[in-house]
Amino acid sequence: MIRSRWSILSLILASATALAAPARTGPPDVVVTALADQSTAPGDLAKGLEGRVKDATGVDRAWLMLTIGELRRLGGEPDTARRWYVDLLSQAAGDSFDNAARLGMALLDAERAGVDSTTLHTLIATSEHDVPDTQNADRFGFLAVRAVLNGTDSSAHVERAHSYAAGRPDLLARIDARVAAASAPKPTTPAATPAPVVAMSVVTPASVSADPLREARDALADEHRDDARAKLAAAQAGSSTPAVQARAALLLKALDGAHTDATRVGVLLPLTGKYGTAGQQVKEALSVGWSMGGAMQQLVFADTAGTPDGALAALDDLVLSKGVVGVIGPLLSPELLPVVERADAYGVPLVALNQGLDDASTRPYVFQGWLTIRQQVDALLDHTVGKLGITTYAVLEPNNDYGHASVDAFVAGVAAHGATITVRHLYDPDGTDYRESGRAIGRKGREDDVPLIDFGAIFLPDKARRVSLVAAGVAVEDVPVGGFIPQGSDKSVRLLGLSGWNAYDLLATGGSYMTRALFTDVFVPPPERANHWYVANGWQAFVDDFRSRTTRTPTPVEALAVDLGNVVSQAIRDGAPTRLSFRDALIDVVATGTLTGATRFDPVTHVLNRKVRVLSVEKDGFSTVTGDAN
């Protein structure tokens, strides 16, 4: 599990995520010193910090306020803790501090009155990396309790709660006690009347304690339409912000549209035009997976025509006219962001089919069902750093959106794994001569003109047909790649890529340069020509079944679509009468029997967990080096 970086003595500090203003740095020394004293009660630690707040400024002041609020919460002083959280929000210290303050108040609300829809939104939507470890521990503890009460599997939430509470026996005991109490059989005889709950004495500003627009969306998603209309009216009356007005207008359209039809799930695909063939193939694969999952609900397909405007029009038709309970799609990158924003504004659960969404934690109704760049980079680095011991890397970056996104994820992943990038070069993906790339990463041009090879692998996120050209250009400049060892060299470096490499053309054109190269994917289809197919567990059975249903050999994209259809089908097969209950079902599902190892959506990021394999390029085919190869 990825833990927040500011985990000091397993206490309460969160990762140093970049802020809008000012930049968030580490905690001041006085905070670190106070937290190092584990023998002192939280309230006494907080008291020692409170006198320093008035003299602190900027980020240091925000750190102090967050730490004091959290210490007061942990010490059982909810009113005092809430005041510090509210005061922190007024400082405009940046999004990460705001997120921690709001989550702190949500935890106080959950402790006092349980998890309602508003509190649940905050528990789910707040980024895991923006908040203290103690908040993450309690957050997952409450989600575990909710799962128990709903009769669903709580183990993943409990595991995360325990991870964040490591080193804190008091916190572990509290979390376990909550889960145990929720799991205990209900008494059959009347119990003693519990003591009345005393309301919080602190009056929280409306802008902090309530968001009428969000509440209107949640009420509509739960089919409480009159309540939604009242909250929407309050949102419209209380704001002159154009963005709020625009979202309110969307919600009003949804209120005036069709009621939710729990028997229908919409799907957005380009079924005609330039991408019509690809869309039709994904449609067929989703349908195969849907039948595997056993859901009785109907998939309703809508044609986006491959454009953002077409995708939005199709979404409106599915939601406003057909009343679908949720939506799968879109497939194409230009369609993704407009559709994601509108679906989330409507309060309609949407499961994306495009990898351009690495984290959906800020959008409570959006889920990522596709294989992401970040998942692949993490798998690649887990293997190359953790198993092969490679700690230095070169990067060749194609100058396009995919190249930039891939390299940004790789740079962040290398830093997280404690490794180093020694050289990075940007190249034209439409070029034909890549010798300059070889000279650039070898730092040639010095007096002896001998390449400087201070890296153990080269990351090259490009398409298979272009990878071979770039590799050849690198080798011409005496960089030792794959099986090519130039005269005078005593080492060889591996080429590394992502799923864009997954094509057998790579073997025909790459030659010795690609030997021992590694790339990531979830499935390798059988070759059409004489290349060898190194079969991983389940691949042959999947191919045989898919062929029997469609008369075609599945592609990696179709393998992803089959498993996504299967997972969503398993989530909804027991029924979801409202969009809110469908969203909860997606959060709670733990799927079985999937080819790509897809099991569940991460409860915070909403990204579908999958088994990403690392594959090695051999002379006659691709073989799995991680996962369950035979």
Higher pLDDT, 257 or 204: 257
Mean pLDDT of 58-87: 87
3-class secondary-structure state, position 363: coil
Mean pLDDT of 521-545: 91
| 41 Ramachandran zone, left/alpha/beta (phi>0; psi -120 to 50) | beta
SS3 content of the chain, % helix, strand, coil (to 5): 50, 10, 40
| Residue 506 · residue 514 · CB < 8 Å | yes
DSSP state letter for 496:
E
pLDDT at 89: 76
Cis peptide before 22 (omega within 30 of 0): yes
Q: What does the CA dihedral 542, 546, 548, 552 come to, rounded to 10 degrees?
A: -130
Interatomic CA distance for residues 336 and 591, integer angstroms: 25
Lookup: tokens for 493: 């470096």
pLDDT at 38: 63
Is residue 375 over pLDDT 90? yes
H helix or E strand, kind and range, residue 302: strand 298-303
Is residue 424 over pLDDT 80? yes
Interatomic CA distance for residues 360 and 368, integer angstroms: 7
pLDDT at 207: 29
Q: What does the CA dihedral 294, 296, 297, 302 come to, rounded to 10 degrees?
A: 70
Interatomic CA distance for residues 327 and 260, integer angstroms: 12
pLDDT at 1: 34
Sheet holding 518-521, edge to edge: 420-427, 392-398, 457-459, 494-496, 518-521, 613-617, 622-624
Domain boundaries, the chain: 8-185, 257-370+525-610, 374-521
pLDDT band, residue 386 (cuts 50/70/90): very high
Higher pLDDT, 387 or 628: 387
Is residue 588 over pLDDT 70? yes
> 331 phi and psi, to 5 degrees?
-100, -35
H helix or E strand, kind and range, residue 419: none
Higher pLDDT, 113 or 605: 605
pLDDT at 477: 86
pLDDT at 206: 29
Interatomic CA distance for residues 403 and 26, integer angstroms: 31
Tens-place pLDDT, residues 174-233? 999 998 988 887 655 444 444 343 332 222 222 233 477 888 999 999 999 999 999 888
pLDDT at 204: 28
pLDDT at 7: 43
Sheet holding 366-368, edge to edge: 298-303, 261-269, 324-328, 350-352, 366-368
| Residue 316, amino acid | D
Lookup: tokens for 236: 């419209």
Diameter over CA atoms, the chain: 90
pLDDT at 488: 65
pLDDT band, residue 431 (cuts 50/70/90): confident
| Residue 238 · residue 210 · CB < 8 Å | no
pLDDT band, residue 245 (cuts 50/70/90): confident
Please report, rounded to a whole number, the percentage of residues in the chain having pLDDT higher than 70: 87
Class of domain 257-370+525-610: alpha beta
Interatomic CA distance for residues 376 and 389, integer angstroms: 18
Mean pLDDT of 348-359: 93
What sign for the dihedral angle of Cα 572, 578, 583, 584? negative
- Residue 268: partners with Cβ closer than 8 Å, 6 or more residues away: 302, 304, 311, 314, 315, 318, 327, 328, 329, 330, 331, 335, 339
pLDDT at 92: 65
Interatomic CA distance for residues 529 and 219, integer angstroms: 56
Is residue 21 over pLDDT 50? no
pLDDT band, residue 11 (cuts 50/70/90): very low
Identical fold at 8-185 and 257-370+525-610? Answer: no
Nearest-10 crossing angle of helices 242-256, 212-221 = 20
Interatomic CA distance for residues 606 and 628, integer angstroms: 25
* Full-model pTM: 0.68
Of the ranges 134-143, 211-220, 272-281, which one carries the lowest mean pLDDT score? Answer: 211-220
Q: Which CATH number fits domain 374-521: 3.30.420.40, 3.40.50.2000, 3.40.50.2300, 3.30.420.10?
A: 3.40.50.2300
Mean pLDDT of 408-436: 90
User: CA neighbours within 13 Å on the CB side: how many for 628?
Assistant: 9
pLDDT at 279: 97
Is residue 240 over pLDDT 90? no
Nearest-10 crossing angle of helices 58-74, 78-89 = 160
The residues with which 608 forms a beta bridge, in sequence order, are 601
pLDDT, mean over the chain: 84
The residues with which 393 forms a beta bridge, in sequence order, are 421, 457
| Residue 524 · residue 556 · CB < 8 Å | yes
- Per-residue CA distances from 360 to 244, 250, 349, 483 (Å): 20, 20, 12, 41
DSSP state letter for 259:
P
- Per-residue CA distances from 53 to 91, 316, 331, 588 (Å): 12, 50, 50, 42
pLDDT at 17: 29
| 144 Ramachandran zone, left/alpha/beta (phi>0; psi -120 to 50) | alpha
Could you identify the residue written with the tokens 């599902």?
589
Please report, rounded to a whole number, the percentage of residues in the chain having pLDDT higher than 90: 48
Q: How many other β-carbons are positioned within 10 Å of the β-carbon of residue 577?
A: 12
pLDDT at 448: 59
Higher pLDDT, 425 or 92: 425
pLDDT band, residue 445 (cuts 50/70/90): low
- Residue (of 511, 512, 507) closest to 527 by Cα position: 507
Burial 407-435 (b: 16+ CB within 10 A, else e): bebbbebbeebebebebbbebeeeeeebe
DSSP state letter for 160:
H
The residues with which 302 forms a beta bridge, in sequence order, are 268
pLDDT at 309: 96
| Residue 457 · residue 393 · CB < 8 Å | yes
Of the ranges 147-156, 157-166, 250-259, which one carries the lowest mean pLDDT score? Answer: 147-156
- Per-residue CA distances from 438 to 372, 506, 513 (Å): 29, 19, 13
- Residue 224: partners with Cβ closer than 8 Å, 6 or more residues away: none
Is residue 484 over pLDDT 60? yes
Class of domain 8-185: mainly alpha
Mean pLDDT of 594-602: 92
| Residue 334 · residue 308 · CB < 8 Å | yes
Mean pLDDT of 356-367: 89
User: CA neighbours within 13 Å on the CB side: how many for 558?
Assistant: 24
pLDDT band, residue 163 (cuts 50/70/90): confident
What sign for the dihedral angle of Cα 13, 17, 21, 24? positive
